[in-house]
Structure 1
């Protein structure tokens, strides 16, 4: 049963990490038109458990994308400098939508793994009861 528990832990950690990733993608999309907004990125890190690798993941620290901000020409904008430009955001909606799809599919894969493990453990308990 320990293997079932490990599988459930790994799948649940993957779902939690992908949900957090999707939250950051949503924030990026919501702030795509916010002047001076830097895109948020993160990475997954393996959970350190005793001396062995567990396979579970967690979300790493949030980092701001330091790529250059878009320069937008709009002389009437109150944020514009003397040349009529101001800094937009560095959010690329195509990249964000692709990241959202990837996070969604990874979440679904972890959910399927969780469900399969649950069904296998239930079947095992049914066999042991006989």
Structure 2
């Protein structure tokens, strides 16, 4: 039974990290028009010393250090003397692609979790006979 529980733990860890990734992507999209906002990315780390080899967890959140877009709008309250202010460095095309990739990875982990659960249930049914 440990193989079943290992596969459930492994897919569960994948579900958690993809959910965290999707949360940060949606935060980036929501703040794409916020002046001075920097894009957030999350790194995945392998869980060391755990019972399930290959399990992952969400690591630290990193701020994208690319240069912020300079927007010319002299009427904006944050504009400097030249009429420019710092926008965000979020690119919606990249965020949408990241969201799609996280969604697909989440779905794959969910299918793996469901398959392991069904196999475990079928094994229990066979052992009851």
Structure 1 equivalent of residue 63 of structure 2: 64
Partner of 1:104: 103
Q: Which runs of 5+ in 1 are unaligned?
A: none
CA offsets 1:41-81 (integer angstroms, 9 cap, x no match):
1111111125x761111001001000000000111111111
Q: Counterparts of 2:49 and 2:3 in 1: how far apart (Å)?
A: 15
Tell me the TM-score normalised to structure 2 length.
0.96
Give me the whole-angstrom Cα distance separating, in 1, the residues matched to 2:59 and 2:10.
Answer: 16
The answer to whether the 8 Å contact 2:10/2:52 transfers is: no
Give the root-mean-square deviation of aligned CA atoms.
Answer: 1.2
Q: Separation in 2 of the partners of 1:99 and 1:77?
A: 31
What does residue 17 of structure 2 align with? 17
Cα deviation per residue 1:17-63 (whole Å; 9 max; x = unaligned)?
A: 1111111001101100000000001111111125x761111001001
CA contact (8 A) 2:9 2:52 kept: no
Q: Secondary structure at the match of 1:62?
A: strand
Distance (Å, rounded) in 2 between the aligned partners of 1:27 and 1:109: 23
Structure 2: unaligned runs, 5 residues or longer: none
Summarize the alignment of residues 88-103 of structure 1 with structure 2, pairs less than 5 Å apart.
Answer: 88-103=87-102
Residue of structure 2 in register with 1:118 after alignment: 117
